[in-house]
A and B are shown apart, each in its own frame.
Chain A
Amino acid sequence: MLRLVSFFLVTFAAVCGLVPPSLSAQDVGHPELLRLVAEPLPDGSIAQSPASFYSPDNLYEYMDGGADIFVLYGVKSMLHLDAKVRTVDVTVDIFDMGSPNAAFGMYAAERSPDYDFIAMGAEGYRNKGILNFVQGRYYIKLAGFGDGADPVLEAWAKALSARVGSDTALPAMLTRLPSNHRKPHSEQYIPNDPLGHSFLGPAYVASYEFNGHESKLFVTLSENENDAHERLKQLEAHFSKTGECAAAPDIGAGAIRGKNSFEGSFVAKVQGHLLLLVLNPTTDGERILREAAKSLH
């Protein structure tokens, strides 16, 4: 009997030891994320299970096809927590994007100018049952189900924002983009291949609307002035090959102007270590370029 029992227990222990911990397991290796959801939870919420963590490699287990874009924007890790308060079920997803730029970029990728924006963190928006906001290097998405979900989400957002603590400002570069005729909440940060061109990334992008006509400003961050000029040359080469491109001294020294059939027309110039490009400019587009050059000097 002793032998039988011992054998059974040892085998059992071996099986348990061999059970691979699923990658979405509780992990003490994310102290900063865990701190954000430390007890007590906001509004008296009760966690339904321990928080789970995901890395870029297994984020798809939680979000399947929705994960790719987060990985593209450089997500470092993600915390997922289900909680309950009164009749409301709350889903908390906190993405550590690694940097404020990446967090803003991811946040902006999912927002649309016509959303209902609120002052939360650096910026946020809400709709029935959801509240998303960005602050520091975190992109936080809250979902609530049940009666009275929206006030609960607001309480959660405020608490999380306070716990994140750090700066509640959007990336500084955004304030330096020309503001005249800029479409509010249209700014984006694209780390890879804006317009499909690697030489244009990473870049801040903003939309401008004038007389019913929309233009886009791209501010590409280069390493230094040489790199910026190099990228300008690549831009020139691309448009020369696919359409037309010529120097535009009337806009400024070294500026170029061009167009092709599928991307449209553009004007561009270098300013310091930045490459400025306006897609589909009108006369106003050239003004945008000049203003950008001035404010980003």
Chain B
Amino acid sequence: MARRKTSWQVWLRRIAQTGFSVLFFYVFLQAEYRPINRTGGHVKFFFTLDPLVMISSWLASHQIAAELLVSLVILGLTAFFGRWFCGWMCPFGALHHLITSLRNRTAKQKIATDGYSPWQKTKYYLLGAILVAAVMGVNLAGWFDPFSFLYRSATLVIYPGLNDGTAWIFGWIYQHDPSIGSFKVTSISEPVYQFLRHTVLPNTQPYFYGTVIIAVVFFAVVLLNLYRARFWCRYICPLGALLGVAGKNPLVQIKRNEDACNQCKVCVVDCQGGADPEATANWKPAECFYCWNCQSACPHEALTFSIRVPGGKP
């Protein structure tokens, strides 16, 4: 089958994912200690969007910080329009999406492994467990919430690791001072490193105990994408589960042109959420990330997403 050009919706989605990921790391960098001790004001931004954080804190402490109410907007939008958050906004999801797309697999293999699995219900049980624990006063959300997980891994493992790796490389060049003919490599490497130091690298690097286990868990979670597509998002993420519950019956639904469709299942190949796009009646809106891969992949342009009037037929 001929490969179609990627649809503009998919391009838009990629831009959004990239944008929010960049925003996440920008906000992350703002949290670094600055000499005049002015912490970036928007560190909390992502967490205020997070309804899981809001609900579990409320259940555990019977209090809500006012700013967490912003997350109700996300919950509300999901209830109306579906789990666009997971496909377009979540930076952790974007990471899993990226790793998933780097896999070297044939379409046939993907159809076999990446369709809907009943195991995707695990995340709902995990969500339930977290909420029950919260009611009993134990707030476990921080361990499984995707922002917390990503932030923690970035702070303890990724950022220090990148910093050390970069310092090691540029340090090696500085110490050995290689030249190519009469051209000194340091005349380029030093300005580059200074630029990095003044922009993205930290001024002082705190180290933490317990990084090994965080590193192992982080890489395990990321590597699980090689087993099943967007493993964390489908099987573990309690925020995704919460949004799935909210988005069970959204207004924006998949629409298939029955005449154009020949059951080729190309739409399943790159479906990120495991939502079964090839079976309109069986399509699982709670699992759909609205990534538009299916619509983009369909060689017969049989799929699209549109607003469904409540009560009407798709």
Contacts and interface: CB of A to CB of B under 8 A. Distances in A.
Direct contact of A and B (CB under 8 A): yes
Interface string A48-66: 1110100000000000000
Contacts of B104: 1-3
B157 A9 contact: no
B185 interface: no
B209 A16 contact: no
A82 to B, nearest CB: 7
Interface in B207-241: 207-209, 211-212, 215-216, 219, 222-223, 226
A52 B206 contact: yes
A15 B212 contact: no
Nearest to A22: B207
Nearest to A26: B208
Contacts of B206: 22, 24-26, 49-50, 52
B216 A13 contact: yes
A17 B103 CA distance: 25
A82 B33 contact: yes
Interface residues of B, number: 26
A14 to B, nearest CB: 9
A50 B157 CA distance: 15
A172 interface: no
Contacts, number: 74
Q: What band does the interface of chain A fall in when counting residues whose beta carbon is under 8 Å from B?
A: 20 to 34
Contact of B211 (A6, A12, A16, A52): A16
Interface string B87-109: 00000000000010011110000
A250 to B, nearest CB: 64
Given A48-B33, A82-B33, A28 B161 contact: no
B273 interface: no
Contact of A82 (B37, B105, B207): B37
22 contacts: A1-B104, A2-B103, A2-B105, A6-B223, A9-B223, A12-B165, A16-B160, A16-B161, A16-B212, A19-B160, A21-B207, A21-B208, A25-B207, A25-B209, A27-B209, A46-B39, A48-B39, A49-B206, A52-B206, A82-B37, A84-B37, A84-B39
A-B residue pairs, 3 tightest by C-beta: A22-B207, A1-B104, A16-B161
